[in-house]
Structure 1
Amino acid sequence: MKLVHSEPLATVAPVFAGEAAAAAPRPAVPAHRIRSDEEAIDVAEKLAVRFAEEAGERDRERRLPIEELDLFSQSGLWGITVPKAYGGAQVSQATLAKVFAILAAADASIAQIPQNHFEIVDVIRSTGSEAQKRELFGAILSGLRLGNAFSEFHGKNVETFETRIVKTSAGYSVSGRKFYSTGALFAHLVPIVALDEDNHVVVAIADRESKGLTVVNDWSAFGQRTTASGTVTLDNVHIPTERVLPAHIVYEQQSAVGPQSQLIHAAIDAGIGRGAIALAIDFVRTKARPWIDSGREHAHEDPYTIAAIGDLKIRLHAAEALLERAGRQLDATIAETTEETIALAKIAVAEAKVLSTDIAILAANKLFELAGTRSTLGRHNLDRIWRDARTHTLHDPVRWKYHAIGQFYLNGVKPPLHSWI
């Protein structure tokens, strides 16, 4: 496919830090429909070239990637996991991980924005009625983007929710306050995690322009700066009955939704590592000077630099191999979902997450060590790679991955029920 819109999408006013954001306009034309795994990877590779062009400038200015996201969702990539029965490509989880890694190597912020969109696609597939699947999958394939109003800032832990959904004469009403709301500012539909009157977790999908739903651009982290992962406030937001999903089916019981979400995080980290290594190689070959004791004319002839690049590539390829292995295990788990196959998927993804975290942080550090002091100059803005790596790898601490993996292999203990392993 060509990476252009057949008709221009409506423009969006810039959103500055701390401001409430207007809803994104809905696409004027339907999104492209991707048909195969191969096409998904091809489209991702073409988009990655485009996204890399101004990634540094967007980070420096905290300029939100509005135009890029329109191109991204219109490309059809946001619909690639929709089941074939509903018109989607239903790509493998291994392919999905490759797509995210390709995009994260170009711009990790853009790659992270749809992560929760894909989690909700899985929730719809696993818990939605036929009517809900037809409506929501159709909306996604047309180019609508799902956001995220899941996490809360002040709870005891990530599973503590204060947001409530109550029955009304016209459907449901949701009130609460969310943070880490990656994707909500750019979304057309905002899935909200809330507790019902029986304290069960549900996902209520609100129209982005709903009265009482406010998205504030107050994300101030030093990394992943253009994800707009800030605040969503919900003040008696109306939710139609047909937009409420019984998510407790997958969140309060063993399911593949958790490891599917974790796989994308691991893929983003692997992509950051891949991008950092590519930037290191380019800088060493084109800008860096050889160290005086090397006796070489060019930095890329330094034997220690050569060995370091070799080490990074080995570690990257190991992370990518575990990522693909995890994706294949997830595909098998989705095809035959049992407690045993879910445990295998969680452990496989945890193993991939350990190595992808390691390579993201190591490669981001080595980028500067091998490229030298001039790589720290502001005009290069290479510190964004380390900042992105350090920020994104804080998702779901790896120290607990080691524990879960050891418990599984040593003591036969299955991973925890929750979605963060």
Structure 2
Amino acid sequence: MTINNQAPLATDPAVYEGYAAKWAKLPSSEEEWLARAREVADVLRQDATERDAVNASPVAEVELLKHSGLLKVLGRTKYGGGGQPWSVGYAVTREVAKGDGSIGMLLGYHTLWAQIADVVGSEEQADALHKVYVTNNYYIGGAVNPRDNDLKITDVGEEITYSGFKHFTTGAAISDLIVLEGALASGEHIFAVVPTKQPGIEFAYNWNNVGLRLTESGSATVTDVRAPWSAALGWKDKKIDPAVLGIAYPTLLLPLIQLVFSNFYLGIAQGALATAKGYTTTTTRPWPFGGDNKDKATDEFYILERYGNFYAHLAAAEALTDKAGALASVLTAKPRAEVTARERGEFAELVASVKVVNTDTALRVTGGLFEVTGARATASKVGFDRFWRDVRTHTLHDPVAYKNRELGRYVLLDEVPEPTWYT
């Protein structure tokens, strides 16, 4: 791995430049997209532990995603995008997360933000965003953290300005475009997508957390960043457009976001199990003092039992996750006015179920893999801890206990949740 002197410390894109030619042709089917994602995961897996330890800004890794074409998976075909449904976008994120949770997360967030205008904007706004990001192969980050209601929007005539502070801006510091979310004095919120590289956006580069260390999720200060009113997603003539934001369809945004999370949780856990398997079958030794001694670790009852249990839970989690991904594809493909509040609510409850199951399963698998690998597997150079650290970090995004409570009301009272920033 090569490190250069960009500010801050950043990985060098030259490391991956050979993949631009290798992946010059965009995948054309779901199978090909998944195969490309697996290739990317294989590349990232080789030095994921080392890159995690260095904690350098993943400039090179975003460039690798660009070379792969994965940033275009949901992009409109008329501009050179993949034209795939949401289900494929989720599956591609999951595959990349198997090799490196941080980069899987970056891809998942980009895939969501690249579609934000499709969900909460007008058709004209959506088409414009696709044209820009697909034709330029742009990576999109976000400064969207609802708990920090710190970006203030001011109407300055033909434009609006954003000013304030965001604690978390995943992927934004290494992005080409950034999604800004803020509030007018009236309390109404507006999303807009603007170029990242401009004087009014200053990143602190202060992301140094337990897990997901290569996501550049640190804070940013935004000062008088301008966007035309025409870029205010779902707004028209300085007012909320009821034909766009006055229906159930745009409230799909929050469950769509939550399903991104669950897919990279699952991918990280699946990658952890595969990595542990490689270690157990080659390195783990049988226990010689149990009274039922075996010649190989793979003959140990408790090891076989644990792997079987982990596999079963991951298989069930994957089936549930795929079910939600399929429904996401169906709902987002419907005419906007035909999506009902009840449909949206039931989708949100399915996604909440996925969040609960994948959180529990991913934490269990990534923490439990040490039981089937042995004491020597705790060495830093082995790097098994990164899987648990990545899952543990993001599963704190919003308390899963509230998802359980929400599901309880759905089961007992047949209530679907009111759309909020987290449901």
TM-score, normalization: structure 2? 0.87
Q: CA RMSD in A?
A: 2.5
1:382-401 equivalence runs, <5 A: 382-401=384-403
- Partners of 1:97 and 1:323 within 8 A in 2: no
Deviation at 1:59, TM superposition (A): 0.5
* Aligned counterparts of 1:410 and 1:169: Cα–Cα separation in 2: 50
Cα distance in 2 for residues equivalent to 1:331 and 1:343: 16
Deviates more, 1:178-187 or 1:395-404: 395-404
**How far is the alpha carbon of 1:165 from its aligned partner?**
1.6
5+ residue gaps, structure 2, are 11-19
Matched residue type, 2:182:
A
Q: Which runs of 5+ in 1 are unaligned?
A: 1-10, 20-27, 152-157
For the pair 1:55 / 2:48, whether they are aligned, the reply is yes
Cα 1:289–1:257 shift into 2, 3 Å: same
Post-superposition CA distance 1:105-134 (Å, at most 9, x none): 110001111333233233211333444333
2:277 maps to which of 263, 272, 281 = 281
Q: Does 1:268 align with 2:264?
A: yes
Aligned position for 2:140: 146
| CA spacing shift, 1:358–1:251, aligned 2, 3 Å | farther
Q: Distance between the aligned counterparts of 2:173 and 2:227, measured in 1?
A: 18
Structure 1 residue 43 corresponds to structure 2 residue 14? no
Aligned residues: 396
Contact 1:190 1:208 (8 Å CA) reproduced: yes
1:402 corresponds to 2:404: yes
Q: For residue 333 of structure 1, what is the amino acid of its counterpart?
A: L
1:321 to 304, 313, 319: 319
- 2: CA distance between counterparts of 1:131 and 1:370? 54
Q: Secondary structure at the match of 2:362?
A: helix
Deviation at 1:359, TM superposition (A): 1.8
**What is the CA–CA distance in structure 1 between the aligned matches of 2:127 and 2:216, rounded to whole Å?**
30
Aligned partners of 1:414 and 1:159: how far apart in 2?
A: 22
Matched residue SS, 1:239: strand
Residue 72 (1) aligns with residue 65 (2): yes
The structure-2 alpha-carbon separation of the partners of 1:35 and 1:337, relative to structure 1 and needing over 3 Å to count, comes to farther
Identity %: 28
Which amino acid in structure 2 is aligned with residue 275 of structure 1?
G
Match of 1:8?
A: none
Match of 1:225 in 2: 213
Q: Please, which moves more after superposition, 60-69 or 175-184? A: 60-69
Output aligned runs, 1:13-162, within 5 Å.
Answer: 13-16=5-8, 33-84=26-77, 88-142=81-135, 143-151=137-145, 158-159=146-147, 161-162=149-150
User: Which of 28-37 and 220-229 deviates more?
Assistant: 28-37
2:14 corresponds to which residue?
none
How many angstroms apart in 1 are the aligned matches of 2:419 and 2:147? 12
Is 2:192 aligned against 1:204?
yes
Shift of 1:14: 3.3
Aligned to 2:16: none
Structure 1 residue 242 displacement after superposition: 3.5
**Cα distance between partner residues in 2 of 1:233 and 1:259:** 28
How far apart, in 1, do the equivalents of 2:101 and 2:246 lie?
Answer: 27
For residue 68 of structure 1, report the CA deviation from its aligned partner: 1.9
Q: 1:301 aligns with which of 294, 299, 308?
A: 299
**8 A contact 1:189–1:205 mirrored in 2:** yes
Paired AA for residue 251 in structure 2: S
Amino acid at match of 1:378: S
Per the alignment, residue 286 of structure 2 pairs with 290
Of the structure 1 ranges 248-257 and 101-110, higher mean CA displacement relative to structure 2 is found in 248-257
Deviation digits for residues 258-277 of structure 1 (CA, Å, limit 9, x no counterpart): 11111110001101110111
- Find 1:238's aligned residue among 217, 220, 226: 226
Worse overlay, 73-82 or 245-254: 245-254
Moved more, 295-304 or 114-123: 114-123
For 2:142, give the aligned amino acid: N
Contact between 2:162 and 2:224, CA under 8 Å: does it hold in 1? yes
Query: Could you say which residue in structure 1 is the equivalent of 2:203?
Result: 215
